Structure 1
Amino acid sequence: MSKAMKELVRQHQECDDQLNRCEAALHKGDMASAGRNFRLFNEQLNGHFTLEENKLFPALEQATGMVNGPTSVMRSEHAEIRNLRDEAYAAIEANQPEAALAAIDTLNVLIQQHNVKEENILYPMCGGSIPDLEDKLGMGSPCCGACSCG
């Protein structure tokens, strides 16, 4: 597995872990911690989706010529995930732990199904189709593209 694919899978795991921390806090009735953890989850999720939607998906579409294929499905699933995320966050902000837990339960299922498709279908397709994938994702420089040194 390429460096880029490993990083994308790592990002999935980080999002999962952060959402699990939020869920644990909700079960304990710690709404402040749940809110903090959910905001961190949201930041990680947004960063991951931005990388995929602005770099990975366009690179795959350019390499394969498929614009209404897997990337279209993934974008649609991202929209569903965002809607559930917003529902869960609204419940946390309204101090409704049971509603938040219900939304997060559904969100977890959707995210896991989505990640399986990306990790087992989309990412291998990208790895085999996109030349210089690490560079296209900003991961080719020694600092992984986080600064202008590369």
Structure 2
Amino acid sequence: MSETIKSFLTDDHRTCDNQFAALENLVALENWQEATTNFYKFEKELNIHFDMEEKVMFPAFENKTGMSAGPTQVMRMEHAQMLNVVSSMKEDIEKKDKNHFLGLSESLMMLLQQHNMKEEQMLYAMADAHLQEESASIIEKMRELKRD
């Protein structure tokens, strides 16, 4: 069976989650040098993930279904909300403020879990159903963003 949009993006969620968990551990240990490096990796991975959805999958889904004010709009708003938290976390990394960082990271973890659940259980399944014929090319376009 060929790869689905759901399996591709769900695997990418796990990659981001693992990066995030490693980052939290480094901050908790106050290993600021590695935490800083890891933070920028996590931030990049997260931005690439959001780009794969917002620049490739969401537009394809919206064009096919005519739904632009539905689930994709909600996901875009949640992406922006999460990026705001990540931006504040960047300041904490730079200031080496462990406690504030870990407080924000707890909030981000909850936002990510709820967001990922909605995407994985609802939106990705809808995307696979509506975009079956073009899913291979959509996945390839998303892969290209990861390679850049």
TM-score, structure 2 normalization: 0.90
1:67 match: secondary structure: coil
* More helix per residue: 2
* 2:135 counterpart residue number: 133
Deviation (angstroms), 1:5: 2.0
- In structure 2, what is the Cα distance between the partners aligned to 1:61 and 1:2? 23
Question: What residue ranges of structure 2 are gaps of 5+ in the alignment?
Answer: none
CA RMSD of aligned residues (A): 1.7
Residue 11 (structure 2) pairs with residue 14 (structure 1): no
Question: What residue ranges of structure 1 are gaps of 5+ in the alignment?
Answer: none
Percent same amino acid among aligned pairs?
35
- In structure 1, what is the Cα distance between the partners aligned to 2:94 and 2:136? 38
Deviation (angstroms), 1:134: 2.0
Deviation (angstroms), 1:45: 0.5
Conserved? CA contact 1:25–1:31, under 8 Å: yes
Conserved? CA contact 2:8–2:139, under 8 Å: no
Instruction: Tell which has more relative contact order, 1 or 2 (C-alpha 8 A, sep 6+).
Output: 2
TM-score, structure 1 normalization: 0.89
Deviations 1:80-116 (A, max 9, x none): 0100010111111111111111111100110010000
Written as runs of structure 1 = structure 2, the 5 A alignment for 1:21-32 is 21-32=22-33
Conserved? CA contact 1:2–1:127, under 8 Å: no
* 1:95 counterpart residue number: 96
Deviation (angstroms), 1:136: 2.3
* 1:71 counterpart residue number: 72
Q: Which amino acid aligns with 1:133?
A: S
2:44 match: secondary structure: helix
- In structure 2, what is the Cα distance between the partners aligned to 1:137 and 1:54? 12
Deviation (angstroms), 1:2: 5.6
* 1:104 counterpart residue number: 105
Written as runs of structure 1 = structure 2, the 5 A alignment for 1:35-50 is 35-50=36-51
Q: How many residues of Structure 1 are paired with residues of Structure 2 in the alignment?
A: 143
- In structure 2, what is the Cα distance between the partners aligned to 1:91 and 1:69? 34
Deviation (angstroms), 1:139: 5.6
Instruction: Provide closer, same or farther for how the CA distance between residues 100 and 2 of structure 1 changes in structure 2, counting only shifts above 3 A.
Output: farther
